[in-house]
Chain A
Amino acid sequence: MSNELYLIPFFIYIFSYALILPRKKKLHKFFTILIYAGFILQSLIFFVFLSTKGFNASVHIGWFVFFNAWLLMTVIVLFGLFYRAEYILLYVTPLVAVNLLIGFFVPHIKIEPAMFSVDKTILLTHIILILIGDSFFALAFMVSLIYIFQERKIKIKKSLKLFDKKDNSLDEVFHSGSGYNLELLDNINYQCLKIGFPFITIGIALGIYLSSSLFNAVIVAKPIEIISLIIWLIYAVLLHERIAKGVRGKRAAVFNVIGFLFILFSLSFSFYLFPTLHGF
């Protein structure tokens, strides 16, 4: 029954999008209200089950997907409030909805069987840190996509309706925030990178430690380790370039998109495609 409850915030998120389609200005504020309501409900469900069932009983792959959805939504809401940019809610909430749906359908496999020899706390810390880092990068990914499209629009000067704030309902939502501009999008990208990178670095380091404990070797050339190191390298290069050379804008956005595609690949690899190769 617990997993079915996650469908309530899922449907709230989906329904909130139905409010934008009629292009009625009055409905737009209800879109935001509904998204926040969905988030509050999602948080309640998450914490109520965590406290009633206990942490150990809850931990399975489905739980981690729900946890990822909740983390991502928290990051979206916080960034949306901080930057007063509602378009973040508009664009990134579908990712959360998809996560909730995956969490509902994913087989609820316990994570512990292969982990007799390692400390379970380290394992959970590894997963949680990776998921926190991934949430920030997920936001950066969506913001990067917006940036790339928006920058393209401005460069080719094609879509002149760009300046017609009330032309469509989505623009209405954009402009109810503090604005929809390249500098802000790039700044959000940078903040996501700065916050997400330490989490993912420690997470990967713990993963390597767990791997070495499990296979009794410091470096085991397993695919997941190679993918993880590629991801880390992409974000490390991006962070270095941003700080040292000031790389920003479209190039940084493209880096973010590539990095997150690798993350998606590694997550599906870890949880769905070859869970045994990950070590569980």
Chain B
Amino acid sequence: MDILIIGLSHKTAEISNREVVSKKLITSELRYGFSKELLDLKGENGRNLINGIVVLTTCNRTEFIMDLPSCAVKGEPHFIRGFIAEYFFGAGCRDSLLYVYLNNDAVRHLFIVASSLDSMVIGEPQILGQIKEAYNEACDFKTTGQFLNRLFHKTFNCAKTVRTETKIASSPVSVSYAAVELSKKIFNSLGEKKVLLLGSGEMGKLTVKHFLKCGVQNIYIANRTKEKAHQFIEDAFGLNEKECLSVIDFSEYYKFLPQSDIVLCSTGAKDYVLKYDDIIPIIKIRKQRPLFLIDISVPRNIDPEINKISNVYLFDIDDIGKMIEDNVEIRRQEADAARELIEINVKEFMNWKESLNAVPVIISLRNKVKNILETELSEYIGEKKEKDLIINSLTNKILHEPTMLIKKAYLNPGGLNLIEMIKSLFNLDLEDKNTGRQDNGEYRNSEKQDGRSRIKIIK
């Protein structure tokens, strides 16, 4: 079996090309239809070219992770790439938009993607959830098999190891997220805090979304044009989120300052909206309760002198930006450590994969020994109930060490001579050597993989 990944990502294709692909795979029916088409591709000998497939689609990438029979590693990957390119971009298109990874490179690529090293923002957590979703969907379509199941479980395991063993995901790298993280350093529970948003820019929207995710229940939005504020809520937030948002008159925002714990300023004003003298009485009314001010507007809308007031904490876009720069650097440094972990995991998986080649020899050897034992022992123990048990037990004991040796031999480049020797010694008939593969080819439809290996999606 071989692993083939064909796809395109933000690193290899423009958004216009990515759009074309994602539009044709936008629903699960479309993805199922295309998976079926790929699975029905036949080789020259009439056999299926692809044993199993998982379709991964995110906003930044589309990838087809495929399990091919071993014989299909010559021209087939390019044939499949041509087929995919033609399907999405039409006949005569440039298939160079699609990258191709095979076996070792494919496994490494998948691990790198799942560990979020290939993402636009290194260490972002969504990609792992998206891969889990794609895998679960493929399980529903019954287009995966033992091999892909193992590959994906190893992928999730590897991504988890990378996240826990390195600091790749430990520091916020977006302004909005950093603003929320900062507020957690000041306030104990954000759920009961009130947020006042001045202005309704894009950054403000993202920050409000983060605050809502953290359980903030009361967010006041003040914009000079009230209709724009209503439109802002209508466009960007769901029904449940809207319940937590209320629009107030911009002229009245001052009245809401004493009850607001967090003020987020992103207006387009040229002067300070909040001045030092405005905050002094506010903090007295608040009985010294902490006030967190975030100024993400340029030019600044909150007087920097305000930070000198006791129990008032002001962060502007530069302060948060510096923090993020450091964190991006931390993530970059951690990516090297993550790659080392990935290499270890790739090696482990490829070893497992190589050991699969030993299966036909092992099966054949076991059958041979079993047959001999059955013939010889029948004379002495007849047709007793325990006969099968005894034969199996003896087979296991006799073949334990040879089996381990055969598995190791397949991992060792010089071990093939040993395999040949074993075949000659025992006169193994391996005519049915493809049986295992054919069986594996049929595993798609087996009951065993039907949803049982589904992965719980953690969002």
Contact = CB atoms under 8 A, between A and B. Distances in A.
Contacts of A249: 288, 290, 310-311
A157 B164 CA distance: 27
Given A247-B288, A250-B310, A164 B330 contact: yes
Given A163-B178, A248-B311, A181 B319 contact: no
A183 interface: yes
A157 B290 contact: no
A178 B191 CA distance: 14
Given A157-B315, A246-B287, A251-B310, A164 B185 contact: no
Interface string B297-311: 000000000010011
Contacts of A165: 170-171
B205 to A, nearest CB: 22
A167 B326 CA distance: 12
Contacts of B185: 150, 154, 162-163, 180-182
Nearest to B286: A246
Interface in B311-335: 311, 313, 315, 319, 322-323, 326-327, 330
A160 interface: yes
B430 to A, nearest CB: 47
A160 B289 contact: no
Contact of B187 (A163, A167, A183): A183
A106 interface: no
B375 interface: no
A164 B186 contact: no
A245 B287 contact: yes
A157 B319 CA distance: 7
Q: How large is the interface on A (under 10, 10 to 19, 20 to 34, 35 or more residues)?
A: 20 to 34
A150 B315 CA distance: 15
Contacts of A164: 167, 170-171, 326-327, 330
A60 interface: no
Contacts of A178: 188
Nearest to A157: B319
B188 A181 contact: yes
Nearest to A166: B170
Contacts of A279: none
B42 interface: no
B326 A160 contact: yes
Contacts of B145: none
B288 A248 contact: yes
A184 interface: yes
Interface string B156-186: 0000000010010011100000100110111
5 closest Cβ pairs, A-B complex: A246-B287, A183-B188, A184-B188, A166-B170, A160-B323
17 contacts: A25-B164, A154-B182, A154-B186, A157-B322, A157-B323, A160-B323, A162-B185, A163-B178, A163-B181, A164-B170, A179-B188, A181-B187, A182-B186, A182-B290, A246-B289, A248-B287, A250-B310
Given A25-B164, A181-B188, 8 more contacts: A160-B323, A164-B167, A164-B171, A165-B170, A167-B330, A179-B184, A245-B287, A250-B311
